[in-house]
Structure 1
Amino acid sequence: MPDKKIGVAVFWAVFISVVCLMNFNEVPQVNKINIPHLDKMVHFVLYSIFAILCLWSINSNQQFLKKAVGVFLFCVAFGILIECLQDYFTTTRSAELLDVLANTFGVVCGILLTALFKNKNKTSPL
């Protein structure tokens, strides 16, 4: 039976996909929010959580650094894929380099937070 942790990471990937491909122009509550660079902050948080969940879901005896590099590459590639999907398959969204950068910084932050937590709590399963 597959590990339930992987299901959580997959759920989060699906959630990111849906949120990033949705048309928010027709949601009046969203249009009323006027916070500069809010979308970049959302990308940062989504991908920080994604990196943490991916690291948490990997059950292996690999060194943390090897897992972190793999998670970094996977999450960044996933973010680039979502940006491409926005550009090619939606009419209300577009690919943005700043979104990719926000995603990447989010992934790095998630990995660093996980490493910090891992070092503080030596019994962590990460």
Structure 2
Amino acid sequence: MLKKGKLIIFIAVSWTVFITISSLLSFKELPKPGFQVSDKVVHAGIYFVFSVLWYLVLVKRVKKHLFLKIVAISALYGIVIEVFQYIMPYNRSFELLDIVANCCGILLGIVAVKLFFQPKQVKKKK
């Protein structure tokens, strides 16, 4: 059985591998689901989860500029994936709006973390 800390690392790494594989392979042959969602919403949702998971991994390990580092690393990862889509021959394409959607998801993830995961500051009475 994995400890809580190791479990969240496993989940974050698994999510990162999932993003990498699903972003670089072509799925044109797969049947479409019975409903449609904008791929930009999907990008935002995927990177929302990505940023929250990596926050949970790094919160006790990184002391300075944690949110800035998460935003920078997450955005860079999304950009690298888009560049790989451009240069690799897997019938995928680079889209600037995908990067924008990724960044929106990252920023929403950071907002969610600040709202739901950070301890509330207790005001000291004078």
TM-score range, shorter chain: 0.7 to 0.9
- Look up the equivalent residue of 1:57 and give its one-letter code: V
Pairwise CA RMSD of aligned residues? 2.1
1:62 equivalent in structure 2: 63
Residues 1:92 and 1:61: Cα distance change in structure 2 (over 3 Å): closer
Question: 1:73-123, CA deviations, whole angstroms, 9 ceiling, x for partnerless residues?
Answer: 00000000000111111341111000000001100000110001134x54x
Unaligned runs of 5+ in 1: none
Moved more, 82-91 or 71-80: 82-91
Return the TM-score normalized by structure 1: 0.81
Q: In proportion to residue count, which structure has more helix?
A: 1
Unaligned runs of 5+ in 2: 121-126
| CA displacement at 1:24 relative to structure 2 | 1.8
- Identity rate, percent: 32
For residues 12 and 36 of structure 2, the distance between their equivalents in structure 1, rounded to whole angstroms, comes to 30
Q: Is the 8 A contact 1:20 1:86 kept in 2?
A: yes
Return the TM-score normalized by structure 2: 0.81
| CA displacement at 1:9 relative to structure 2 | 1.2
Q: Is the 8 A contact 2:26 2:92 kept in 1?
A: yes
| CA displacement at 1:19 relative to structure 2 | 1.3
1:45 equivalent in structure 2: 45
1:110 equivalent in structure 2: 109
1:18 equivalent in structure 2: 21
Which segments of structure 1 move beyond 6 Å, counting only runs of 4 or more?
A: none
2:124 equivalent in structure 1: none
- Look up the equivalent residue of 2:31 and give its one-letter code: P
Q: Is the 8 A contact 2:24 2:90 kept in 1?
A: no
Q: Is the 8 A contact 2:51 2:106 kept in 1?
A: yes
